[in-house]
Structure 1
């Protein structure tokens, strides 16, 4: 009750002008956080050339970042249930900026990896906490603000490759680090514009946190490197974590969180949907390169209009979430995904400008999906567990992205001469892409049925 009373007090203390400033601030730092990941994916070939690295070696620039980013999202989510958001964001932004400055001056590849790990330890606080801000400070406009946040993520995912390609080409890949260092300038504004909060009672189970961190790290390493020892290690640490939360008086994650059927269903269905969406986003640049022969810059320019459209769609998704509820918004996301995948399957092998138009529908689905699922998560949990609940949500999203890329990568290794979509005119290498998009439609239909039948008796 004390936590709820404090949140009501904070909500009433914010006027409309302060709310707008806070929304602008969290979206600004989120933009840097998401862009930081996508910009460096573009720069991988240049980094490999600078240090004479093999593909497996240079992949650690991305892999190391993803591992720490996923774990950090869960950790900061848990800490948000205890410590003020202002304090946590200050720590996270400081790490993010320090890692960025360190990376710019890194003299060798080991220094670059260390800088990326420090960056991830800080950047993960942003993606974890900005989803909590709308729930905690804007309960009456929760869906609208979540829509804006989701729009920012979609836009950053699209603009990141464009900026990354331009900066790496015009200057040097090391300047990508310098761009992210600007988040340091936002810290004084967080202290000025973000409400003051009191520390809540509670402490973090360090051993339980270590078990889940090692389990997640091993699982992501297995997905990216396909080493079975990592899978065995992940199973072992997940087992130790499960035993810990069942026997400890104050576990890192309370077992009753997983007993919540609405929470479980949303997490699992969201995982499958995000895995599908990230699979599409992973596959699209490969298709534009292999089938359409585009270079990195033109691939980014082809995708950018879709990312920009998704940014505007987030406002619509947020408004509908407040009016209809998260469940219906998720249904809209599923319909957009199915329509978008069908269009991509049908027009695989078409000129790049055609792909740039038909991919709009798929990208618009992203803010609808994130806004709807985040609203459902916040509605299904008590106030004092929303932080860890959103941490779990973000963790599953990152793992879904890793799974989606790995699975799609394996599927594209196979050639096919059988075209599953009778509407498609795809030929040669475009056939396998058209078929995989059909597979994504099938997975989305199964996921939609699971979501419907699992929640049809639940009220939001």
Structure 2
């Protein structure tokens, strides 16, 4: 079922963009408040990092669960439930009186918010008319890029002007949007009432949670339950009549290759986003607010690039835009490697190129993934796309942190080596994507 073109352009896309903006903003702006939260509860950096880790783990898993639930329930009911849960978690966080309650609030927040980008991708790839698909995905990518850039500034302002717990009030801005979004979202009556594979979901949840905990907290003992749960999940989906993730999906070479490319290229992007504040702090001695100001132009340009190249993808196809985005990423990484330590302004200018490449790749890779799948597997395929997206973020961030920890973080040669490595990985991602496209339609 395709939605009316005017409904998509004038109603759904603006409302969905505002919802995604607040959802992503909530995930990003807490980064700047971590030192304040640690000081408030008198806890160690390792313990306070669970404010971020718990959110990421639940968010990653929830992105698959919501898409699978869309096979059974109307999408408007699912997203209403998720946004309601998101707001409840926000209220819990605002009134939290202990660190344990704060973590519970973040888990509830993530359980609700994780449905927003996942269902947004599902809407864009299944319900939006094909000739508007690239533009819609471009707007989503632009929104994610813009919100990621604005997040540290908004978080720094609220935490500095009021207190860190006021960050929890931002998601309540969704309350007036919820009834409008519910009104315009499709009510698909032809839902397939397939049983929900709870055992498969639990196996995958343990595997994802253990893997992300190992990567983000450097607790390598968690790799054992991650591997065991992944093996049990693989064994289970081959035997279950209605598996949580269909084996038909994983047997498609073009899809597997495209997902591998997603993992590789998004690992480099998240590594870059983690490394840039470190570079500006350690090489140029900039304070937190100034770092946010230097990063903001790149986020704005990325938002513009995502919107512009989303429209180009509708005319030239997503494969062209993905290749161009990889080219921009490789150029930006190479320039960052060459100019590391010379000037903060030069580094910020190089980041504009790389961050714009991220917006181009993000929107068009989603379209490419959907193009490799038949209609009945698209929803599930986009759920796995979102899952891999967040896992790659944790992997890229952790690997970048380990690299900078092993090297001398105050040396510009360390960042040159890091960005040189990211350039090579981006080249590998482009090769994997090109090979996948030769195996099927991208």
Partner of 2:188: 197
Provide the C-alpha distance between the structure 1 equivalents of 2:65 and 2:186, rounded to a whole number of angstroms.
22
2:96 alignment partner, one of 89, 102, 106: 106
2:64 alignment partner, one of 67, 74, 81: 74
Residue 121 in structure 1 maps to residue 103 in structure 2: no
Deviation at 1:230, TM superposition (A): 1.1
Provide the C-alpha distance between the structure 2 equivalents of 1:39 and 1:439, rounded to a whole number of angstroms.
28
Residue 352 in structure 1 maps to residue 344 in structure 2: yes
Partner of 2:34: 44
Provide the C-alpha distance between the structure 2 equivalents of 1:350 and 1:189, rounded to a whole number of angstroms.
49
Is the CA contact (8 Å cut-off) linking 1:79 and 1:387 kept in structure 2?
no
Between 77-86 and 119-128, report the one with greater CA deviation: 77-86
Between 284-293 and 16-25, report the one with greater CA deviation: 16-25
Is the CA contact (8 Å cut-off) linking 2:255 and 2:436 kept in structure 1?
no
Deviation at 1:428, TM superposition (A): 6.0
Partner of 1:286: 278
Partner of 1:333: 325
Between 141-150 and 344-353, report the one with greater CA deviation: 344-353
Deviation at 1:204, TM superposition (A): 1.1
2:6 alignment partner, one of 5, 16, 39: 16
Provide the C-alpha distance between the structure 2 equivalents of 1:157 and 1:312, rounded to a whole number of angstroms.
14
Deviation at 1:226, TM superposition (A): 2.5
Is the CA contact (8 Å cut-off) linking 2:335 and 2:350 kept in structure 1?
yes
Is the CA contact (8 Å cut-off) linking 1:98 and 1:181 kept in structure 2?
no
Provide the C-alpha distance between the structure 2 equivalents of 1:459 and 1:450, rounded to a whole number of angstroms.
14
Provide the C-alpha distance between the structure 1 equivalents of 2:423 and 2:182, rounded to a whole number of angstroms.
46
Is the CA contact (8 Å cut-off) linking 1:43 and 1:164 kept in structure 2?
yes
**Secondary structure, aligned partner of 1:197:** coil
**Secondary structure, aligned partner of 1:391:** helix
Partner of 2:254: 262
Provide the C-alpha distance between the structure 2 equivalents of 1:392 and 1:457, rounded to a whole number of angstroms.
20
1:106-161 per-position Cα deviation (integer Å, ceiling 9, x unaligned):
11111111110000001100011111111222222101100000010011111100
2:398 alignment partner, one of 380, 402, 406: 406
- The number of residue pairs the alignment matches comes to 440
1:453 alignment partner, one of 423, 426, 435: 435
The correspondence of residues 381-392 of structure 1 with structure 2, limited to 5 A, is 381-392=373-384
Provide the C-alpha distance between the structure 1 equivalents of 2:49 and 2:65, rounded to a whole number of angstroms.
25
**Secondary structure, aligned partner of 1:374:** helix
* Structure 1 gap segments, 5+ residues each: 1-6, 417-426
Partner of 2:143: 152
2:369 alignment partner, one of 366, 377, 386: 377
**Secondary structure, aligned partner of 1:131:** helix
Deviation at 1:18, TM superposition (A): 5.3
* Structure 2 gap segments, 5+ residues each: none
Instruction: Using structure 1 for the length normalisation, give the TM-score.
Output: 0.93
Provide the C-alpha distance between the structure 1 equivalents of 2:173 and 2:267, rounded to a whole number of angstroms.
31
Is the CA contact (8 Å cut-off) linking 1:36 and 1:160 kept in structure 2?
yes
Is the CA contact (8 Å cut-off) linking 1:414 and 1:432 kept in structure 2?
no
